Amino acid sequence: MRGKGKGSTRKLDNGKWECIVQSQYINPDSKGLNPKRIKRTGKTEKEAQKNASQALLAWEKDFERTLKNNKVERNRSFGSYMEEFIETEVKQYVSASTYKSYIYTMRANFFNYKISKLSLKSLSTVEFEVFFDALLKKKSEKTVSFPVQLCRRCCDWLVAKSLISENYAMYAKTKRKKRDEYFRAEEDEKRTRKEVFSREDIAKFYHAYKNNMSEYCPAIIIMLETMMRGQELLALTIDDIDFEQNIIHIRSALSERFVDNDKDKGIEKYIKVPKNGKEREIYMTPLAREAVEYIIHQTALKCRDNPQKLLFPSYLKHGKIRSMDAFEIQFKDLCNKL
């Protein structure tokens, strides 16, 4: 049977239906003689026609872009398409450190879940709902929001390529309990409120600094006094300190990226511009200045070599820049002790 735009269909001996559709374009592999034809099966005649039409449309869009007879891979996983989407559509628009963050986040919150192993023909709104709910049981809403948004963007990309018929991720709803409308404003205020240390907390850090509980104490005091970011503090050099004007020049920040921006290679540290993309100056309070002077004195005593003139280099690795991971571990350890 043949209908307009439906192709030729027939019922197979196993009870399934088969549909063959013909493209408007000539198959390059036929030496310019025959049009491209695609065959698909389905449980019903309508399903077979839909599968064949979808596959043909995907092939034609790819052919218009490449002029090659590329095979439409029916069993390719959603995870592999996500990798392609990140590499071709996302990577070029973000910084190297952001790209590295994207990869690490998706490895922890997407590629180790069932949804990434499914073929495109197995995707559905229900599968995305199961995935989103599984994430919410283990992770915070803030953590979950990124893989959710990237799944929706990837599905949009797949729809544009005619590889799926609709954005299943966009219609997926989670089983997260809805908030009471009466308390919505109060909950929003709590969610966005910044957690800050109290005066008593600051006093404990000062006590730790005065009693030399950790070599990280003076660095933490500087951060608390100036609201400087950790990545900025680790990138500070002695030349960034102006004692005459009593200010600190924030010119750069420590970050990490993949070597050659390739996710299959290792991680390397690098110095980048501060988060807002602008240099700035920070006034030193008397306590901040005292901590800066103390760090400079300790660095002169403990660091045999400091080629980059870092304010707070690693004392064990001969002046190399400290890692943010090590800084965070030491900071949390000190908080637990206090």
Percent of the chain whose predicted confidence (pLDDT) is above 70: 91
- Cα(255)–Cα(187) distance, integer angstroms: 33
Whether residue 4 is predicted with pLDDT greater than 50 in this model: the reply is no
SS3 75: coil
SS3 256: strand
- Cα(123)–Cα(119) distance, integer angstroms: 7
Q: What is the pLDDT of residues 60-82, one digit of tens each?
A: 887 887 788 877 676 789 999 99
The pair of three-digit structure tokens given for residue 216, joined into one six-digit string: 């990280």
Q: What is the pLDDT of residues 117-172, one digit of tens each?
A: 999 889 999 999 999 999 998 888 888 999 999 999 999 999 888 888 889 999 98
- Cα(312)–Cα(205) distance, integer angstroms: 18
Percent of the chain whose predicted confidence (pLDDT) is above 90: 50
SS3 176: coil
Q: What is the mean pLDDT of residues 28-55?
A: 84
Q: What is the mean pLDDT of residues 90-94?
A: 93
The pair of three-digit structure tokens given for residue 23, joined into one six-digit string: 């493209």
SS3 162: coil
Position 297 scores a pLDDT of 94
Mean pLDDT of the chain: 87
User: Which DSSP state fits 113?
Assistant: S
Helix (H) or strand (E) segment spanning residue 283: strand 280-283
User: Which DSSP state fits 237?
Assistant: B
- Cα(234)–Cα(252) distance, integer angstroms: 9
Q: What is the pLDDT of residues 205-234, one digit of tens each?
A: 999 999 989 999 999 999 999 999 999 999
Q: How far apart are the first and last CA of the chain?
A: 79
Radius of gyration (C-alpha) of the chain in whole angstroms:
29
Q: Do residues 137 and 131 lie in contact, with contact meaning Cβ atoms separated by under 8 Å?
A: no
Q: Tell me whether residue 312 is exposed, middle or buried, using C-beta atoms within 10 angstroms of its C-beta: 0 to 12, 13 to 18, 19 or more.
A: buried
Please choose, from the candidates 153, 147, 119, 117, the residue with its C-alpha nearest in 3D space to the C-alpha of residue 132: 147
- Angle 317-321-322 (CA atoms, 0-180°, nearest 5)? 85
